Chains A and B, each alone.
Chain A
Amino acid sequence: MSEVKVRRVMLKTEHDNQKWICYEGYVDGVPAVTKTLTIATAAYVARPAILDEALTKLRSDVAEYHANYLALQSL
């Protein structure tokens, strides 16, 4: 199974980049399973652990989507 990857996404304005921390989880070559994550910067400052928790769930969700995608390909 292809590896789930995560990358930071920058927004259109610097104001938004200060207000939100954004990532997307993806698998190379399978855009349909990509999922995005947006975290309020204020929540991260109040509790930094929220970032790792959210990224862990993001990776898990994308892995699930990819498994479903592969299962459909075999039909």
Chain B
Amino acid sequence: MPQREGILRIPRELPKNQMEWEQFARRLNENFFYDGVRAIIAEAATIAEREGTDIGTVLSRIADNGRAEDQRFLPQVSAGNVLSLQDVNPLVASADATTATISVSAHTVQYGFGTVSLNSGTIVGLTPSTVYYVYAQDPDYEGGALTYLATTNRQNVTADNDRYFLGAIETAISANTAAITAATSASPIEFTTGTNHGWFTGNDVTLTGLPGDFGTNLNGNDYTITVTAVNKFTIAVDGSAYTPYTTGGLASRVSSDTAGGAGGGGGWIENSYA
């Protein structure tokens, strides 16, 4: 760093006489002084190793309260684009009769400064048919084997500066079965289950073990149901010519995997729950 005129770098070049001390003090006071309350860094002061850059220029886009006051304070990738993108949609959900699982596949995140790789993980014991927001603690952008967590409150994702948001996903519908105890020879066919089925209109069920014409025409097939009561549902099939139902049969709700949506900074950019 070239020697500035009149400035002495302490401690290597101590002033040799009173005149040099006075000159040193005057130069120093032009750049750094005390107003009786606070220490003041003057605009002419600069930063070590920053040739030709003064404090005023460096701080021109930071307000007095310490916050950025001009979007150009941020690099273009942060101000003009999403902040990061994943290479694949890392989230898939599945469910059994009682709980759901979110599987996180290994993936990479592309930032403006480079790529971070993350290992796979699993979150077990979640509630089916529920939107979860998946995140992990990664304060230093290290990636690797992170512990993945899921919350139903999306604001929890941004409640800690250290969190990486993977994306959101609605867990799959739980698979469960109900015994059939009655069926109508009508259009549409209405089935009665032995216990409350807990299903919803729009769910898909597989019918098996049905007797007579019901079995011949319906067994082994999937149907989208309309719920008519806690223990009844219909399927859009004309069974008016079917011989009357006797006994037996099972309806099994179908559970299918679901895929996640957009992650942090734009993430995968797909269906977004954010």
Contacts and interface: CB of A to CB of B under 8 A. Distances in A.
Interface of A: 9, 11-12, 16, 20, 22, 24, 26, 31-32, 34-40, 42-44, 46-47, 50, 54, 57-58, 61, 65
Nearest to A25: B145
B121 A37 contact: yes
A5 to B, nearest CB: 13
B105 to A, nearest CB: 10
A14 to B, nearest CB: 14
A54 B144 contact: no
A54 B122 contact: yes
A31 B125 contact: no
Given A35-B120, A38-B123, A40-B126, A50 B146 contact: no
B124 interface: yes
Given A9-B147, A20-B149, A35 B122 contact: yes
Given A43-B99, A50-B99, A11 B147 contact: yes
10 contacts: A11-B147, A34-B145, A35-B120, A36-B119, A36-B148, A37-B122, A39-B124, A39-B125, A44-B125, A47-B98
A32 B108 CA distance: 13
B137 interface: yes
B136 to A, nearest CB: 9
A36 B149 CA distance: 11
A34 B119 contact: yes
Contacts of B124: 37-40, 43, 50, 54
Nearest to A26: B145
A36 B125 contact: no
The listed residue with most B CB atoms (<10 A of its CB), out of A16, A36, A40, A58, is A36
